Amino acid sequence: MLLSQLHQIVGAAYVLTAAEDTAPYLTDWRRRFTGRALAVVLPGSTDEVAAVVKTCAERKTPIVPQGGNTGLVGGATPDMSGDAIVLCLKRMNRVRDVDAINGTITVEAGCVLLDVQQAARDAGQLFPLSLAAEGSATIGGNLSTNAGGTQVLRYGNARDLTLGLEVVLPTGEVWNGLRALRKDNTGYDLRDLFIGAEGTLGVITAACLKTFALPRAQVSAMFALDSVGNAVELLKLAQSAAGATLTAFELISDTCLRIVTRHFANQRSPFGASHSQYVLLQLSNHEDEHHAATLLQTMAESALEKRLIVDAAIAQSSAQSASLWKLRELISDAQTLEAKHIKHDISVPISSIPRFIHETDALLASNFAGVEMVTFGHLGDGNLHYNVRSPIGLSDEEFFAMQPAIYRCVHDQVVRFQGSISAEHGIGQLKRDENARYKSSIEMNLMRAIKQAFDPLNIMNPGKVL
């Protein structure tokens, strides 16, 4: 009965039930979670989403929204009950409007991030959200996880880049909050509640996003350093030398670089010798290439003089810049090829990062023999991908049995340093219990009250976040 109603709404071709058709939607990107579903439904318009949600609400059928399925916390994967539908928005991929004067682009939620960047560029604008999964991740998923990425330092995360939303509420009603305004103080900010809600409050169907003037020049460099402490000092130097021109500042440990070059034969370190840490940074400016390159060169000389860096590889062309960034982008894939990892996506105040890494590395080494740290991340935002590699010889089952103890060790440290246990990937099902453990009861109760107000039937992505 439900299936035939869904057929009527979206068309039979867009209600998938055969195992071979639904399989790609039922396992997450890291293959940590697999679920079951009544069907995978692919609506083609906001009206269709609204009708699907209304039908599900009448039957109290749970809905798991999904975009590109690149999330890292199991947020888009249904549970094993088989009671839910997966609502995948990838057919909703139209760019509705680009307004270069207003500095906005309005897109449907299923637009792939890379396509949104391109549509903005075609209009002479920059949409700066950028992350390694941008060829598959969708705007709906980006907003629902409040995604970060490499440009947060200059432009902010997905929330900072959003002006308005169109959302199908758990009743099936459509909230048209698709405003293209930078100023709007007319009460509670509903938009910000849906951003980062991981599909638990409604289905985002479209968004009005901020765009910026395209920079005239972008230059990148990789610096080799002896310590994380020097990387933090280098950040300070780069910020004071380059100001808003500094658009990315990424930390890469030597282990990360080694696994990338080991697993991808065409990748090379730009340095002759290995060093403890590397920083990959980018400057973007509105003057010209020469100006940006000179600024970078002066900064490198000053950092060398102060002994903050030991070597520098400054890209001389956009192709060289792209190859430096490729090393960064391939770290996650190299980790997958290398071994199993218990991953932490954490943030602490930037000034605490050297002590956090030093003390937590030592704690892990003494409590969990044989683990190796694979640490990289958005140092400019205080956000580390602090990953623990499985000891050689341990089975996957044995390693993941250690996950609660490793989480406890790392997350206790994060709290001690006044940080967050999830800086950008969200909570999903992976970090749900950890979040409940570390958030105050006041915060948890407020979040539950919001959930109850929006979704009293608890049909929107149940079991995620809360």
Contacting positions for ligand FAD (CB under 6 A): 29, 64-72, 75-76, 89, 109, 131-133, 137-138, 140-142, 144-145, 147-149, 198-199, 203-204, 332, 424-425, 428, 461, 464
Contact status, residue 250 vs residue 365, Cβ threshold 8 Å:
no
Contact status, residue 340 vs residue 396, Cβ threshold 8 Å:
yes
Based on CB atoms, which residue is closest to ligand FAD, 275 or 385? Answer: 385
Whole-number minimum distance, CB 147 to ligand FAD, in Å?
3
Based on CB atoms, which residue is closest to ligand FAD, 170 or 309? Answer: 170
Contact status, residue 31 vs residue 72, Cβ threshold 8 Å:
no
Based on CB atoms, which residue is closest to ligand FAD, 150 or 255? Answer: 150
Whole-number minimum distance, CB 130 to ligand FAD, in Å?
8
Cα–Cα distance for residue pair 361/450, rounded to 1 Å? 38
Based on CB atoms, which residue is closest to ligand FAD, 70 or 245? Answer: 70
Q: Which of 213, 233, 215, 212 is nearest to 223 (CA)?
A: 233
Q: Do the strands 63-66 and 85-88 form a parallel or antiparallel pair, or are they unpaired?
A: parallel
Whole-number minimum distance, CB 185 to ligand FAD, in Å?
25
DSSP code for 391: P
Order of all β-strands in the sheet with 162-168: 95-99, 104-108, 203-210, 162-168, 174-177
Based on CB atoms, which residue is closest to ligand FAD, 24 or 82? Answer: 24
Whole-number minimum distance, CB 388 to ligand FAD, in Å?
18
Whole-number minimum distance, CB 345 to ligand FAD, in Å?
8
Based on CB atoms, which residue is closest to ligand FAD, 132 or 409? Answer: 132
Based on CB atoms, which residue is closest to ligand FAD, 141 or 270? Answer: 141
Q: Which of 160, 135, 165 is nearest to 148 (CA)?
A: 160
Tokens matching residue 90 = 């990838």
Based on CB atoms, which residue is closest to ligand FAD, 149 or 177? Answer: 149
Based on CB atoms, which residue is closest to ligand FAD, 299 or 342? Answer: 342
> Backbone phi, then psi, for 411, in 5-degree steps?
-70, -35
Based on CB atoms, which residue is closest to ligand FAD, 310 or 457? Answer: 457
Cα distances (Å, whole numbers) of residue 141 to 99, 111, 130, 136? 23, 10, 13, 10
Helices (H), 306-430: 318-329, 331-338, 353-367, 396-401, 403-416
DSSP code for 68: S
Whole-number minimum distance, CB 285 to ligand FAD, in Å?
23
In the block, which residue shows the tokens 């439904």?
Answer: 41
Based on CB atoms, which residue is closest to ligand FAD, 126 or 167? Answer: 167
Cα–Cα distance for residue pair 155/149, rounded to 1 Å? 10
Whole-number minimum distance, CB 332 to ligand FAD, in Å?
4
Q: Which of 466, 461, 454 is nearest to 62 (CA)?
A: 461
Vertex 195: Cα angle to 167 and 96 (nearest 5): 50
Whole-number minimum distance, CB 81 to ligand FAD, in Å?
16
Tokens matching residue 137 = 């991740």
**How many CA atoms within 13 Å lie on the side-chain side of 314?**
16
Whole-number minimum distance, CB 140 to ligand FAD, in Å?
2
Cα–Cα distance for residue pair 37/54, rounded to 1 Å? 18
Whole-number minimum distance, CB 142 to ligand FAD, in Å?
4
Query: What residue number has its CB nearest to ligand FAD?
Result: 141
- Number of residues that make up the chain: 466
Cα–Cα distance for residue pair 144/193, rounded to 1 Å? 10
Based on CB atoms, which residue is closest to ligand FAD, 102 or 136? Answer: 136
Burial of 401 (0-12, 13-18, 19+ CB in 10 A): exposed
Whole-number minimum distance, CB 337 to ligand FAD, in Å?
13
Whole-number minimum distance, CB 67 to ligand FAD, in Å?
3
Quick count: other Cβ atoms within 10 Å of Cβ 441?
A: 8
